[in-house]
Amino acid sequence: DIQVTQSPSSLSASVGDRVTITCRASQVIADGLSWYHQKQGQAPTLLIYSASTLQSGVPSRFSGSGSGTDFTLTISSLQPEDVATYYCLQDYTTPLTFGGGTKVEI
């Protein structure tokens, strides 16, 4: 199975800050990585797929980069509504595997 290591596990930042979350896969997964956020009490929501493609309707302050084994999610200017837990998912091959999550607070 491909392991996905996500860091940090939590972070606190101010409104307007640039925030970066990283995921590292234990094997090369090309661009087979997607990003989600999950607000309290809600289902996860897709933000980015294929490592860097913004899902329709997602604000442009979210961006993804990387390929191979190292990937990054960036929020260019943190907003209050971005408080959530963020997960990466390798969907390159089964079994699909999630990162451990990053709790973002303000």
Partner 1 sequence: QVQLQESGPGLVKPSGTLSLTCVVSGGSISASNWWSWVRQPPGKGLEWIGEIYHSGNTHYNPSLKSRVTISVDKSKNQFSVKLTSVTAADTAVYYCARVGATTGIDPWGQGTLVTVSS
Residues interacting with partner 1, by CB under 8 A?
Answer: 1, 32, 34, 36, 42-46, 48-50, 53, 55, 87, 89, 91, 94-101
Integer Cα distance of 68 and 62 in angstroms: 20
Q: How far is the CB of 31 from partner 1 (least distance, A)?
A: 8
Instruction: Label the pairing between strands 33-38 and 45-49.
Output: antiparallel
Residue 23 phi/psi, 5° resolution? -135, 140
Task: Decide whether 14 or 40 has the Cβ nearer to partner 1.
Answer: 40
**34 versus 69: smaller Cβ distance to partner 1:** 34
